[in-house]
């Protein structure tokens, strides 16, 4: 593999980030390809640009993870509110 293979892996990740939701299986498969490409990369003249791009994509992944965590928190709160409302309704049902 070459630095070009690594760039293609980064292209793939960028595409995945542009079309959410991110599937865990797709990310795991991508990670395997990326690890293989990284292990056999030539680290040629474009290496610094590849590293910079990878770091920028890592920051985007962190942002996406933070957004998903925030959404998860909102969903948990909404579900708790629904359960609380359901318990209140059950208390007022005629016996």
- Say which residue the tokens 């994509």 belong to: 57
**pTM (two decimals):** 0.75
Q: Is 54 exposed, middle or buried (0-12, 13-18, 19+ CB in 10 A)?
A: middle
Residue pLDDT tens, the chain, 95 long: 589 999 999 999 999 989 878 888 999 999 999 999 999 999 999 999 999 999 999 999 999 899 989 999 999 999 999 999 888 888 777 76
Alpha-carbon gap, residue 47 to 40, rounded angstroms: 13
Q: Are 22 and 64 in contact, with CB atoms under 8 Å apart?
A: yes
Q: In 3-state terms, what secondary structure has residue 22?
A: coil
Note the residue count of the chain. Answer: 95
């Amino acid at each position: 593999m070459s630095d070009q293979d690594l760039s293609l892996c980064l292209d793939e990740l960028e595409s995945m980030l542009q079309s959410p939701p991110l599937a865990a299986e797709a990310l795991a498969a991508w990670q395997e390809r990326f690890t293989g490409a990284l292990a056999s990369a030539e680290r040629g003249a474009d290496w610094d640009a590849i590293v910079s791009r990878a770091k920028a994509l890592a920051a985007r992944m962190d942002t996406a993870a933070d957004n998903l965590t925030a959404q998860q928190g909102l969903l948990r709160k909404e579900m708790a509110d629904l359960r609380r409302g359901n318990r209140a309704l059950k208390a007022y049902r005629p016996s």
